[in-house]
């Protein structure tokens, strides 16, 4: 029989502790000391241990799972997790504002500005108000399921204030205090390890004299470079107990299809549900006030208890957001202003020369280690020969290094007043650092290239690109594996991948049976890659994934593609002179033609699957979904439309031809009615799909 008194105490403790957690983690306004919180928490733990039938699912004690995962499962995002475009100057932001006004044909735009949290983007789903799935951004389309780890975040409710079925997007971060405590803990553990390693070293000396097996030393754990890296590493732990110890936090910045009219209402709605939002957002009627807001936070960001690296600027009105829509990578109605990175002084130790897959030679500065924005920097880009000569950079120089949009920071200035008088002018190599062949300069770009088809580094980079996830997706074949295969003379070109035998792989150090089988199976599987993936894998300069899809639809197979002409290419959507010339030049090189011919001989010549049914009402039309579909999943519906030649978009705009609505449709349906767009119910859509399938 349930003890009502104990039941009441447990329910009250759960409620009180969750409220205290919200005040501490979200509002940054603790109403109770850590000691008192711990006393209440331990009391709840004891009551739950003695009365397991009374444990509530939203209890703060139930945040850590018992399972240790072997690997993360994949999850396809129902709505792609787009990344924001970046601006790095006030001028760029003014251009962004001008472009929006021009495209919408209005003079006044209301913007909402939010702090850009330096963390990791995640998607979280609630069913009947209960948290049931969370995943990382991944590539924007497919992420990894991290539900167990997200559940350890005290600022995130496991149960909402209402029984809603919603998906939210947020940024997981590590507060500055948690970051400091984490690194302090690592330092203390490393001290203990060092003491243990001293004992091991002494024991090994004794064992060496007796010819016995030696004991391996324990590896020290490196400190985290910055809170962002720590947050990213913590949320991807296979053991959620480790994640729970890191004291992560989260801010929710969007509720998908919430039916709110503005982004501000979206945030208010999220807060009403009990979700943590960042309260430092502001609404502005003009871009000048936005610039003032940016200046304020650039000067005051150090006062926050978490790191920010910029400001996110969005159109507040969701109808206007829908009208502008998105590019394939980012929304047109939002951008982020990135704070300028600090410039630091260090010394140039050396210069190396990197060979890319196109043969382009890039000079790289090797530096005395410095810290920029929490990251240890030892390399910086020198871009090309002309930049090197303009800087007049020399070994031993004192240089100024800056990190902004680039992944690798760059040297921006040489402090010649500190230069050694005996320093010598550097001469850009005339021969390839990898193969020794004479280099050539491209007159149009000023870049220097190695044109040797047999250049080792050039071919290694080509194979790495060919095998990459967005190309032929050969699993298990990363950068290190490709270099090992090359070093062991197992492969020299892309085509050699398809000639590898298991016995060749097993000769390589640390290459076990399991990994060898995985690589060979993945290589074989890559033979049935779609035509657009094969075209992208060729590594044609200026040709990306989207362009590869357009080319596959136009030319249907590799044989036709080989014979493409400049004028044809130039007339394709989003193809200009530069890309068209790049493709023609690529296909005029014997080495590249031989590669394509060899792939065809290997059976890698997929036909573009032209399942487009030209008499279908959706053929070559743009379609948008809204509301919940019950007869078919959103992903299957999208796939079915794409197979019959339709384009599926996430926003309603002037290009939209049809909108298909399910249960509880949002503002998209209202907008479609105002714009007199064709409207189809899910039932009608399902019937049309069934008729098409029967015709096949």
114 is in an annotated binding site: yes
Burial 3-14, CB ≥16 within 10 A → b, else e: eeeeeebbeebb
Q: Is 664 flagged in the annotation as binding?
A: no
User: Cα-flanking dihedrals φ and ψ of residue 123, to 5°?
Assistant: -115, 135
169 is in an annotated binding site: no
- Known binding residue 564? Answer is no
> 276 in helix, strand or coil?
coil
Contact in structure between 402 and 367 (CB atoms under 8 Å): no
Which phi and psi (to 5°) does residue 87 adopt?
Answer: -120, 145
Helix (H) / strand (E) element for 459: namely: helix 456-467
Strands (E), 434-508: 440-441, 448-449
Out of 56, 95, 116, 554, which one is annotated catalytic? 116
Annotation-wise, does 38 bind a ligand? Answer: yes
SS3 60: helix
Token pair listed for 257: 């299809």
Cβ–Cβ contacts within 10 Å for residue 518, how many? Answer: 15
Asked if residues 13 and 40 have their Cβ atoms less than 8 Å apart, the reply is yes
Does 450 carry a binding-site annotation? Answer: yes
205 is annotated as contributing to ligand binding: no
Residue 239 assigned ligand-binding role? no
Residue 84 labelled as part of a binding site:
yes
455 is annotated as contributing to ligand binding = yes
Q: Binding site annotation covers 435?
A: yes
Q: Does 545 belong to an annotated binding site? A: no
Q: Is 689 annotated as a binding residue?
A: no
Distance CA 495, CA 600 (A): 10
Residue 113 marked as a ligand binder: no
Q: Which two tokens stand for residue 631?
A: 């007869």
116 in active site: yes
Judge contact between 120 and 231, C-beta under 8 A.
yes
| Annotated binding residue 554 | no
DSSP structure string for 581-642: HHHHHHHTSHHHHHHHHHHHHTT--PPP-----TTSTTTT-EEEEESB-SSS-HHHHHHHHH
Q: Is 159 annotated as a binding residue?
A: no
Q: How far apart are CA 352 and CA 381, in angstroms?
A: 10
- d(C-alpha 676, C-alpha 678), whole Å: 7
The HSE-up count of residue 9 (CA atoms within 13 Å, CB side) is 14
Active-site residues, by number, are 116
Which residues make up each annotated binding site for Zn(2+)? 432, 435, 450, 455
Which residues make up each annotated binding site for NAD(+)? 34-38, 83-84, 114, 137, 171, 314, 338
Which residues make up each annotated binding site? 34-38, 83-84, 114, 137, 171, 314, 338, 432, 435, 450, 455
């Amino acid at each position: 029989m349930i003890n009502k008194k104990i039941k009441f105490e447990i329910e009250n403790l759960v409620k009180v502790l969750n409220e205290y957690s919200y005040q501490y983690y979200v509002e940054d306004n603790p109403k109770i000391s850590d000691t008192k919180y711990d006393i209440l928490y331990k009391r709840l733990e004891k009551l739950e241990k003695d009365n397991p039938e009374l444990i509530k699912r939203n209890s703060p004690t139930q945040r850590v799972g018992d399972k240790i995962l072997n690997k993360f499962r994949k999850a396809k995002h129902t709505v792609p997790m787009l990344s924001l475009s970046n601006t790095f100057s006030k001028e760029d932001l003014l251009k962004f504002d001008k472009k929006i006004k021009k495209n919408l044909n209005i003079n006044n735009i209301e913007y909402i500005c939010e702090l850009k949290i330096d963390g990791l983007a995640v998607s979280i789903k609630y069913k009947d108000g209960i948290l049931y799935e969370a995943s990382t951004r991944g590539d924007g389309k497919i992420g990894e399921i991290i539900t167990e780890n997200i559940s350890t975040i005290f600022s995130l409710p496991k149960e909402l204030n209402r029984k809603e079925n919603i998906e939210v997007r947020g940024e997981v971060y590590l507060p500055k205090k948690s970051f400091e405590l984490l690194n302090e803990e690592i330092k203390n553990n490393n001290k203990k390890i060092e003491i243990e390693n001293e004992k091991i070293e002494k024991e090994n000396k004794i064992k060496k004299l007796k010819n016995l097996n030696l004991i391996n030393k324990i590896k020290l754990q490196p400190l985290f470079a910055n809170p962002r890296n720590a947050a990213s590493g913590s949320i991807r732990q296979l053991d959620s107990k480790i994640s729970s110890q890191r004291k992560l936090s989260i801010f929710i910045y969007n509720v998908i299809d919430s039916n709110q009219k503005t982004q501000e209402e979206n945030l208010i709605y999220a807060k009403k549900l009990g979700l943590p939002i960042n309260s430092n957002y502001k609404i502005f009627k003009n871009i000048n006030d936005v610039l003032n807001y940016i200046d304020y936070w650039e000067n005051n960001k150090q006062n926050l208890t978490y790191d920010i690296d910029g400001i996110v600027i969005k159109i507040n009105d969701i109808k206007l957001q829908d009208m502008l829509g998105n590019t394939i990578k980012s929304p047109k109605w939002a951008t982020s202003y990135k704070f300028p990175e600090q410039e630091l002084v260090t010394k140039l130790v050396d210069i190396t020369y990197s060979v890319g897959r196109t043969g382009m030679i890039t000079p790289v500065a090797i530096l005395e280690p410095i810290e920029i924005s929490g990251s240890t920097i030892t390399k910086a880009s020198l871009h090309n020969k002309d930049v090197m000569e303009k800087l007049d950079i020399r070994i031993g120089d004192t240089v100024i290094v800056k990190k902004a949009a680039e992944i690798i920071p760059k040297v921006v200035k040489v402090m010649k007043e500190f230069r050694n008088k005996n320093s010598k002018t550097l001469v850009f190599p005339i021969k390839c650092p990898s193969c020794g062949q004479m280099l050539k300069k491209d007159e149009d770009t000023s870049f220097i290239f190695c044109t040797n088809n047999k250049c080792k580094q050039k071919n290694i980079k080509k194979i790495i690109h060919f095998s990459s996830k967005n190309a032929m997706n050969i699993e298990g074949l990363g950068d290190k594996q490709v270099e090992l295969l090359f070093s062991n003379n197992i492969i020299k070109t892309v085509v050699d991948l398809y000639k590898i035998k298991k016995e060749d792989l097993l000769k390589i150090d640390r290459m076990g049976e399991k990994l060898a089988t995985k690589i060979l199976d993945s290589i074989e599987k890559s033979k049935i890659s779609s035509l657009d993936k094969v075209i992208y894998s060729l590594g044609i300069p200026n040709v990306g994934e989207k362009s590869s899809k357009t080319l596959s639809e136009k030319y249907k197979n590799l044989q036709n593609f080989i014979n493409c002409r400049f004028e044809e290419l130039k007339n394709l959507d989003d193809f200009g002179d530069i890309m068209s010339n790049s493709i023609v030049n690529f296909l005029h090189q014997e080495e590249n033609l031989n590669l394509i011919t060899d792939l065809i001989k290997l059976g890698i010549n997929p036909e573009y699957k032209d399942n487009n049914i030209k008499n279908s009402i959706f053929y070559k039309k743009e379609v948008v979904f809204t509301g919940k579909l019950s007869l078919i999943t959103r992903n299957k519906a999208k796939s079915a439309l794409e197979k019959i030649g339709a384009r599926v978009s996430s926003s309603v705009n002037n290009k939209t031809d049809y909108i298909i609505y399910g249960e509880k449709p949002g503002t998209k349906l209202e907008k479609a009615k105002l714009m007199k767009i064709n409207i189809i119910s899910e039932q009608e859509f399902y019937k049309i799909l069934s008729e098409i399938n029967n015709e096949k």
